[in-house]
Homo-oligomer: A and B are copies of this chain.
Amino acid sequence: MQLSPSLSQLIEALRCLPGIGPKSAQRIAFHLLERDRDGGTQLGKALTKAMSQIGHCETCRTFSEVSVCDICLSVKRQDSRTLCVVESPTDVLAIEQTGQYQGLYFVLMGHLSPLDGIGPREIGLDLLERRLSEGNLDEVILATNPTVEGETTAHFIAELCHKYHVSPTRIAHGMPVGGELDLVDGQTLMHAFSGRRSI
């Protein structure tokens, strides 16, 4: 039996969702057709709009539908001399949810990965260098992930900061608050020891 062409296409297209295999895709397609056509129609519109209209902020590279994003335009932050560099827009969300940081951001949309052809230009370091050169920054907080690639990227950007006499800092790595020593991984424990302070 052949499924109707639009249904086959829908099942195939659903496979772009992370973690959705052929069986789940079929289940989702039938669920929407049988029980939630309005939801499916809304999702279709939202996807089409988001994929075509969401670009990147000209200043910080995060996702934005307008040329400069809300945070970069924010009156409270515009004069901040602190820039936090992160790998992805979700990192900005996570930091904003703490409500503690009032500075600006720069979103790399990835990390250096020469083997994958991702060099300084691909992660917007030309734009970051321009911002460093303008003399409006005192500190750059390097909040890339504590992975090999994240560390390499942080060190590369730190060099760039030195060139323009801006202080680079790296976020602390160690025990997560509330974590248990014997449950944390060895790398984190090592970071926690090497980053120890007098009390």
Number of interface residues of A (CB under 8 A): 57
**Which residues of A in the span 84-98 have a Cβ within 8 Å of any Cβ on B?**
88-90, 92-93, 96-97
CB-CB < 8 A to A52: which residues of B? 41
What 0/1 pattern do residues 57 to 73 of A give for CB contact below 8 A with B?
A: 00000011110011100
Contact of A90 among B30, B36, B46, B50 (CB under 8 A): B30
Shortest C-beta distance, A100 to chain B (Å), equals 13
Give the most central of A16, A27, A29, A63: most B CB within 10 Å.
Answer: A16
Question: B4–A43 contact, CB under 8 A?
Answer: no
How far is it, in angstroms, between the C-alpha of A9 and the C-alpha of B32 when the chains are bound? Answer: 18
10 chain-A/chain-B pairs, Cβ below 8 angstroms: A1-B70, A1-B92, A1-B96, A1-B97, A6-B46, A9-B50, A14-B46, A17-B28, A17-B31, A18-B28
